[in-house]
Structure 1
Amino acid sequence: MPSVQVPKKLPILMVTDGVVFPAATMRIPIRSKQNILMLEQRILSATSLHGSIVVIAYRDATADKSSSADDSQVEADGRVPKAVHTIATAAIVTQVMGSNWPQPSYTVQVTGLCRVRLDRIVRQQPFLLAAISQLDKIDDIKSVKAVSEAALKEFTDDVWKILNYLSPRDAAVQQLRKIVHTASLDVICDLTASVLKEVTYTELLRVLDHVTIAERLAMVHSLVKRQLKVMEHLSGDDESYTVQIHPESTRVDDISRLLGSIINRKAVGGRDGDMSERNASNSTQRDALLQKLKDAKMPPDVEKDILKEYQKLKGMSNFSPEYNSLQNYLELVADLPWSTESGETLNVQKSRADLDADHYGLKVLKTRILEYLAVRQLRRSLKGPILCFVGPPGVGKTSVAKSIANTLGRTFHRVALGGISDESDIRGHRRTYIGSMPGRIIQGMKTAKTKNPVFLLDEVDKLTSGVHGDPSSALLEVLDPEQNNTFLDHYLNVPFDLSGVLFIATANNVSGIPAPLLDRMEMIEIAGYTQEEKVRIAMDHLIPKQLREHGIDASHVHLPADSIAIIVQRYTREAGVRNLERSISAICRAVALKIAEAQSSSASSPSADSTVFRTDVGLPALPIVIDDTALTDILGPATHANSGAEILVQPGVAAGLAWTPVGGEVLYVETTKMEGEGRVTLTGQLGDVMKESANLALTWLRSHVSTDMKRDLIEKTDVHVHFPAGAVSKDGPSAGITVLVALASLFTNRCVRSDTAMTGEVTLRGLLLPVGGIRDKVLAAYRAGFRRVILPKRNEKDIIDIPEEIKKSIEFVFATTMAEALNAAFEGGFQKLQSNAASKL
């Protein structure tokens, strides 16, 4: 472009994917190390993205696209390598897109500025820098005048005809349409060359070599006429007449000969040798597909139906719209594991050792798994129940399923069901639809490549119904041992045997699973870990894993069990260990930073950190001990209080126990009173069940307190009951006893025992009914520092699931009535009930 002036030295970008012309825009993939270095240091580090570069092409289009200028041999005196085309284009980078998969790479969008000549290479590292000379003339008046108006009009008319054949969505075509009658001749020539399709790589380089406008116009116009002639002859013909121009073809004679063969072929209505070769190739592919179908060893009925489909394919034209769809279908059928099984290792002793090595704790879960494997060991075929691991996040549901697959020697495949609302995701789409595909079950079987993998249906409680059906209903057939041997996918449309698959499901909350689907599965609850179990898990599994991932080892950092216990108590009160692992990861990052700073410090002037690691004197590094002070520096102030004692220091407050999808939690209830008319205010975003429990508790208390509690104070006083964390929705009957105790504390002006938490449903008759989630709730109480728990009498059987060390540390008080619960909640008992309250109960 005449008005552009570029610097005398510019970095080099080597390309083999095309030729960039001035005024044209092109996207270029960046793969080589030296090109990536140039882009990162010259372009991405600049304040503006519009950096100038030189886009250079290889002389040979067959050059390896993974190579680049860093692979070309630069002469010692700076001469340009022979493999590089010396006429290039100076350009600016207008857009950069990055990717990290499968390896770091970029794609840049560049716009050409002007032609330049490479004079010499002035620098090779870290990227090539070239001295250049600008070639486009500012006043090439004689060259322009040499072009007659008639030749110019004929050229622009032919370009406009070409544009009518090209895709109107192409950005370069759109740009050329706008300027073909108004822009300067050199710009039109360069843009036209950039949009031509039937042109060789060598011809594009020749267009780039023509600096004068008259020569360039003649070259480009000849290419335009040739392509226009091809397009006119092929207009209205089918896709089989597409001209194929190979990059290595450098002679216009070859293209003319190919064009002549196409014209002759249309005249006689036949097919040339290329078409015969294509038909022979398709025949070979069909024969190979038929052999794959036979080798799949499908059931006879299925094979009969599939061979009928193959015969349809064989008699179908290659250019039929249904050809590719049917071919893809048959290839999927051939790839499915109809008869391929992976060898199974059934050894209960080995399985027990593997499970213990991979996971600490989870006694109930491991026992049930070993029972299942023992039955399979004694009876080789088992239409057993579908196991569903239910528990909060981070307790190891998915990793246990992987361990089962490893100990059995089976292939493991995970299907994420969270957020699925379309039945077709399970059963597949019918092949009558465009873009149809099989469901996730059949896709998983293809990926597993065996008919007896371990299938993990993750987050089965997150399935939702939508306008496209109910995916949980589609799973009924998959998980029913009596039906899944003939599972029918809509895309596959032939029965497939899933009876050999070991299905394992996971869920956070049983209430999110529809009842029919729940009936197909056996629930195994994983409530969470105790503090002692978390410490062991961290020492045996989490710390070694995080040390490996952060490039450090035990010689750099020492994280004792006491510090892990502090993290569990003060920073990560959860059922699982995800936040614990994140905390350990934060510690490892902090240690890695210290190590990197110490290693980069100067030996002559060691810093304080380098003396810690003793890198300045060449002695082994001393490990950093993570103590209480270091935890505060790295993780910040403690997130959780040590216990609930400081909260239960005033009347009207009680500690309840609640269950959530992420484990048990301590739920505090606060109450206050004021003069009024006996109205009750409930706050804290409560559900209807919890509101009813609060009203029941207050009604029972009003009807059973003794006269010395001043009945008029209760009946003529407004009461406000609040559940903190008001932004969190809360519902359930288990807070009834907590509200009752909090109200009793408020009106007697006595504090509830600071070591006591409670849970239970209340009735109007004063009974204490059982509730669920006892193990989760007791663990939450233990984590919060409570050592006394009030439970309904009928929940006594549920403490069998609580670890022995927890049962030894907590005093359980079992109550049948609300009066018993009140007596247990206060120091010295509760003596403010009517004498005949027991008879009324």
Structure 2
Amino acid sequence: MSEPNPNTQIPETLPVCPVRGSVIYPTMVMPIEAGRPVSIRAIDEALARDKVILIASQRDKELEEPGPDDMYLVGTACNILRMRKNSDGSVQMLVQAFARVRVKQYEQRKGYLEAAVEAIPESQDKEVELKALFREVKARFETVLKEGKYLSPETAQFVLNLEDPSQLADYIAFHVDFKLEDKQKLLEIASAAERLKRVLVLLDAEIELMETQRRIQQQVKEEIDRNQREYFLREQMKAIQRELHGEEGDQEVEELREKIEALNLPEAVRGEVERELSRFARMHPDSAEASVVRTYLDWIVSLPWNTRTTDQIDLTEAAKILDEEHYGLEKVKDRVLEYLAVRKLKLERVRKGELREEEINKGPILLFVGPPGVGKTSIAKSIAQALGRKYYRISLGGARDESDIRGHRRTYIGAMPGRIIQGLRQAGSKNPVFLLDEVDKLGTSYQGDPAAALLELLDPAQNKDFTDHYLGVPFDMSEVLFICTANFPDSIPGPLMDRMEIIEFTSYIEQEKLEIAKRYLLPRQIGENGLKESQVVFTDAALSRLITSYTREAGVRNLEREIGTVLRKSARGLLESGKKRVRILDQDLEKYLGPVRFLPEAEAREPQVGVATGMYYTPVGGDIMFVEVSATPGKGGLIITGKLGEVMKESARAAVTYAKRNAERFGIPLEKFDNTDLHLHVPAGAIPKEGPSAGIAITSAVVSALTGVPVRNDVAMTGEITLTGRVLPIGGVKEKVLGARRAGIREVILPRQNQTDLSDIPAYLRQNLRFHFAENLDEALDWTLVGGLKALENRAKPKGAKAKKVKARPKTPPPARA
């Protein structure tokens, strides 16, 4: 290397040649190839002056045209010794660095950078400290070379022969692969001792890195040697197995091993499976134990440990699929679409890195509760189709063994996994829709309680590690969408019910049944009975009469059977008569199905004393009923007939007490309660009746019987009562109102707190109906009795007394008087 000329003067401003990824130190002679316009113009400018140029590093080596803010503020002043232009326009030059300089300011010139600079003088250090650092750095550098750091022998020897401490620090920094920031930092340090200390730290880090690399290489080598050893031993074992059992057993083990490797099993599962596989490899293929292990491994490799279907998260398409198969059931459809919407939002957050990926795979656990035939089971299949998932149904009706759910332990002969794991295998997906049908009909026996076994499976906090007794290893069930169905939720244990989100299915109203019959049942039965749609015209009037007069159910199963019966007889009639088309009218149903089977109650012909029109609700729909009360001479007894339940009997007693408490106001002599027997009867005596909602009807009938004021025949009423005359809310408003409408009733009295329930009834079905909302019995009696409350209170006035003005419908109950 050439020695720098100490007499070289540094101009106040220098053209700047930016370099990328390297730093040049004083005393070095370096070739530099420049291809960027900004560098070439700076070189030309330096040659035009005094051949002195500033070599400075840019902070970001990816920048093609660095500006003043992109350059470090310390560089090296260099003399240009030689320069040559290449044919491609690039420039090669040989420079000799001679001084550290600090840039006071960069300025942008025409096509190049120019810098105002000042020299950085070398600081004076203590000679003893400098010498000690010099020796230590040289020793560490030799250690780096011994550890395997490659430098050409000439370069290494040149560096080791240096006697100047400043040059030693600079040349080591240049030739060892330190980071650009570390090299730049060394260039900025004026003190040779401080530079040597910094180089010492960097060399120590380099030595530690090289030792770590060597240790990793040794571990890798040992792992390779161990694998090779295992490979040779395995090959020897194969040879022995082939001698003992032939080729077939060895091939089977290898196939199982390849399948297990491809599954990417969780760590806990992999250890157990590999242990069983090792046992199997050492067994005779024809032994009984080998058959057990083989079956176990077959189950393991056939389960979808990491196989999933991609959810269809197009809400519009999902809604279309749900509407194609089912009419109504808006709550269920809304819940599915809400799940899809939440999943779509979570996917967007995962893409942004705001959420972990496993958070989006958790499936809800739903419980569909409702009467038979309303579509609980069939909607589950439509949900799977709408989500784009596999579907599997498990019928739990009558299951009474815990092993049905969790499987048998492998110690038993013929042990198998439970129905949950079997379902996953059949579905072939880790995230199917699982329908657990009839969970309310689980049984118990000495073999265990299957409902208790479902507690872990249906708990979102636990089913990530569901363990089947047969498998003996955890399987993640958190991605499964569980849907359970039940007819009677009271039969489900409380802890199990608490784990599920309940969605209630109400019975279909007549209008819904009509739409279902037209859209789904009729086309399906036409096809099943060999007919074409062009051959049959089933009028809406005939369908409506079929629904009301020949079926009485919550769902539509019997309705579909009756439609099938009509179509079968129609098909026979077409063949026998030779006609090409049949039209089924409402009056034709007697010909196909016989006499009418169900006659719904109709509105009474005229107001009657002691007869009130109530409303009731059953799982098969709503209807009206008549509450009859007769006052006869007696001893103040209350006779109740009509197979009424305990709650309904209590409503009757409360009604009598209310009438007795308000006797003076209603004009009822108190002695009448002592010498009169009240007989309460509700027709259809063979049918059990229960519930508090007949309170208003019973009270109206009792007051009417005691006062002789008739009850209006065109008003139906429902509501629970208290002794103080308050009216409390009841259930089944939708079914009761539609039952009254079907019976010809046009005025309905409901508890005021049930006013919001009218939103469940379609607007077109509320037309021509008048609703009264009662907070107390005074308001209710004003609407139920002929002449209203005024007629009662007029009876209580002495003859000849001046009548007082009475509000027709008081908004607050008056105080009761004994």
Could you say which TM-score interval applies, normalised by the shorter chain?
A: 0.5 to 0.7
Cα distance in 2 between the residues matched to 1:291 and 1:697: 79
Letter in 2 for 1:397: K
Instruction: Look up the match of 1:491.
Output: 470
What is the correspondence of 1:200-215 to structure 2 with a 5 Å cutoff?
A: none
Instruction: Look up the match of 1:368.
Output: 335
Structure 1 residue 396: deviation in Å?
2.0
Letter in 2 for 1:700: Y
Determine if the alignment matches structure 1 residue 537 to structure 2 residue 516.
yes
Cα distance in 2 between the residues matched to 1:768 and 1:716: 29
Deviations 1:424-468 (A, max 9, x none): 332333333445433222222122110111112223333355544
Aligned pair count reads 546
Instruction: Look up the match of 2:651.
Output: 693
Of stretches 574-583 and 278-287 in structure 1, the one that deviates more from structure 2 is 278-287
Structure 1 residue 544: deviation in Å?
0.7
Deviations 1:602-622 (A, max 9, x none): xxxxxxx23xx1xxxxxxx1x
Structure 1 residue 411: deviation in Å?
0.8
Determine helix, strand or coil for the equivalent of 1:555.
helix
Larger radius of gyration: 2
Conservation of the 8 A alpha-carbon contact between 2:601 and 2:624: no
Cα distance in 2 between the residues matched to 1:648 and 1:518: 49
Deviations 1:760-788 (A, max 9, x none): 22222221111233333334434444333
Instruction: Look up the match of 1:791.
Output: 750
Do the aligned partners of residues 500 and 420 (structure 1) sit closer, same or farther apart at CA in structure 2, a change above 3 Å counting?
Answer: same
Determine if the alignment matches structure 1 residue 818 to structure 2 residue 777.
yes
Instruction: Look up the match of 1:303.
Output: 270
Conservation of the 8 A alpha-carbon contact between 1:648 and 1:654: no
What is the correspondence of 1:336-485 to structure 2 with a 5 Å cutoff?
A: 336-380=303-347, 381=360, 383=362, 385-485=364-464
Letter in 2 for 1:716: N
Cα distance in 1 between the residues matched to 2:706 and 2:562: 44
Instruction: Look up the match of 2:180.
Output: none
Conservation of the 8 A alpha-carbon contact between 2:391 and 2:434: yes
Instruction: Look up the match of 1:152.
Output: none
Q: Which residue of 474, 478, 481 corresponds with 1:502? A: 481
Instruction: Look up the match of 2:635.
Output: 677
Q: Which residue of 331, 335, 342 corresponds with 2:298? A: 331
What is the correspondence of 1:590-605 to structure 2 with a 5 Å cutoff?
A: 590-596=569-575, 598=576
Structure 1 residue 349: deviation in Å?
1.1
Conservation of the 8 A alpha-carbon contact between 1:685 and 1:727: yes
Determine helix, strand or coil for the equivalent of 2:533.
coil
Cα distance in 2 between the residues matched to 1:516 and 1:665: 36
Q: Which residue of 633, 639, 655 corresponds with 2:597? A: 639
Conservation of the 8 A alpha-carbon contact between 1:569 and 1:783: no
Q: Which residue of 601, 610, 629 corresponds with 2:587? A: 629
TM-score (ref. length: structure 1):
0.60
Cα distance in 1 between the residues matched to 2:633 and 2:249: 92
Letter in 1 for 2:510: Q
Determine helix, strand or coil for the equivalent of 1:645.
coil
Cα distance in 2 between the residues matched to 1:490 and 1:648: 70
Do the aligned partners of residues 682 and 544 (structure 1) sit closer, same or farther apart at CA in structure 2, a change above 3 Å counting?
Answer: same
Letter in 1 for 2:274: L
Cα distance in 1 between the residues matched to 2:409 and 2:341: 41
Instruction: Look up the match of 2:16.
Output: none
Determine helix, strand or coil for the equivalent of 1:581.
helix
Conservation of the 8 A alpha-carbon contact between 1:459 and 1:506: yes
What is the correspondence of 1:269-284 to structure 2 with a 5 Å cutoff?
A: 281-284=248-251
Structure 1 residue 279: deviation in Å?
6.4
Determine helix, strand or coil for the equivalent of 1:379.
helix
Structure 1 residue 627: deviation in Å?
0.9
Instruction: Look up the match of 2:95.
Output: none
Determine helix, strand or coil for the equivalent of 1:410.
coil
Conservation of the 8 A alpha-carbon contact between 2:692 and 2:719: yes
Cα distance in 2 between the residues matched to 1:753 and 1:419: 50
Of stretches 333-342 and 285-294 in structure 1, the one that deviates more from structure 2 is 285-294
Instruction: Look up the match of 1:312.
Output: 279
Cα distance in 2 between the residues matched to 1:467 and 1:752: 59
Of stretches 628-637 and 511-520 in structure 1, the one that deviates more from structure 2 is 511-520
Conservation of the 8 A alpha-carbon contact between 1:527 and 1:663: no
Coordinate RMSD, CA, aligned: 3.1
Q: Provide the identity percentage.
A: 46
Deviations 1:48-93 (A, max 9, x none): xxxxxxxxxxxxxxxxxxxxxxxxxxxxxxxxxxxxxxxxxxxxxx
Instruction: Look up the match of 1:165.
Output: none
Do the aligned partners of residues 658 and 516 (structure 1) sit closer, same or farther apart at CA in structure 2, a change above 3 Å counting?
Answer: farther
Deviations 1:77-135 (A, max 9, x none): xxxxxxxxxxxxxxxxxxxxxxxxxxxxxxxxxxxxxxxxxxxxxxxxxxxxxxxxxxx
Instruction: Look up the match of 1:732.
Output: 691
Cα distance in 2 between the residues matched to 1:342 and 1:360: 27
Do the aligned partners of residues 650 and 803 (structure 1) sit closer, same or farther apart at CA in structure 2, a change above 3 Å counting?
Answer: same
Cα distance in 1 between the residues matched to 2:560 and 2:710: 38
Do the aligned partners of residues 488 and 685 (structure 1) sit closer, same or farther apart at CA in structure 2, a change above 3 Å counting?
Answer: farther
Q: Which residue of 793, 804, 808 corresponds with 2:763? A: 804
Determine helix, strand or coil for the equivalent of 1:678.
coil
Cα distance in 1 between the residues matched to 2:290 and 2:690: 57
Letter in 1 for 2:640: L
Instruction: Look up the match of 1:832.
Output: 792
Conservation of the 8 A alpha-carbon contact between 2:543 and 2:586: no
Determine if the alignment matches structure 1 residue 572 to structure 2 residue 551.
yes
Conservation of the 8 A alpha-carbon contact between 2:661 and 2:816: no
Deviations 1:318-337 (A, max 9, x none): 56554444433332222221
What is the correspondence of 1:152-301 to structure 2 with a 5 Å cutoff?
A: 281-301=248-268
Cα distance in 2 between the residues matched to 1:665 and 1:430: 54
Determine helix, strand or coil for the equivalent of 1:429.
coil
Instruction: Look up the match of 2:542.
Output: 563
Do the aligned partners of residues 288 and 673 (structure 1) sit closer, same or farther apart at CA in structure 2, a change above 3 Å counting?
Answer: farther
Conservation of the 8 A alpha-carbon contact between 1:337 and 1:449: yes
Structure 2: gaps spanning 5 or more residues: 1-241, 348-359, 798-805, 807-812
Cα distance in 2 between the residues matched to 1:427 and 1:525: 28
Structure 1 residue 341: deviation in Å?
1.0
Do the aligned partners of residues 414 and 350 (structure 1) sit closer, same or farther apart at CA in structure 2, a change above 3 Å counting?
Answer: same
Determine if the alignment matches structure 1 residue 759 to structure 2 residue 718.
yes
Cα distance in 2 between the residues matched to 1:462 and 1:748: 51
Conservation of the 8 A alpha-carbon contact between 2:438 and 2:487: yes
Letter in 2 for 1:310: L
Cα distance in 2 between the residues matched to 1:435 and 1:701: 72
Determine if the alignment matches structure 1 residue 522 to structure 2 residue 509.
no
Structure 1 residue 727: deviation in Å?
4.9
Do the aligned partners of residues 752 and 557 (structure 1) sit closer, same or farther apart at CA in structure 2, a change above 3 Å counting?
Answer: farther
Do the aligned partners of residues 585 and 365 (structure 1) sit closer, same or farther apart at CA in structure 2, a change above 3 Å counting?
Answer: same
Cα distance in 2 between the residues matched to 1:728 and 1:429: 47
Conservation of the 8 A alpha-carbon contact between 1:702 and 1:715: no
Structure 1: gaps spanning 5 or more residues: 1-274, 599-608, 614-620
Conservation of the 8 A alpha-carbon contact between 1:391 and 1:663: no
Letter in 2 for 1:406: Q
Do the aligned partners of residues 302 and 823 (structure 1) sit closer, same or farther apart at CA in structure 2, a change above 3 Å counting?
Answer: same
Cα distance in 1 between the residues matched to 2:626 and 2:560: 28
Conservation of the 8 A alpha-carbon contact between 2:641 and 2:685: yes
Determine helix, strand or coil for the equivalent of 2:788.
coil
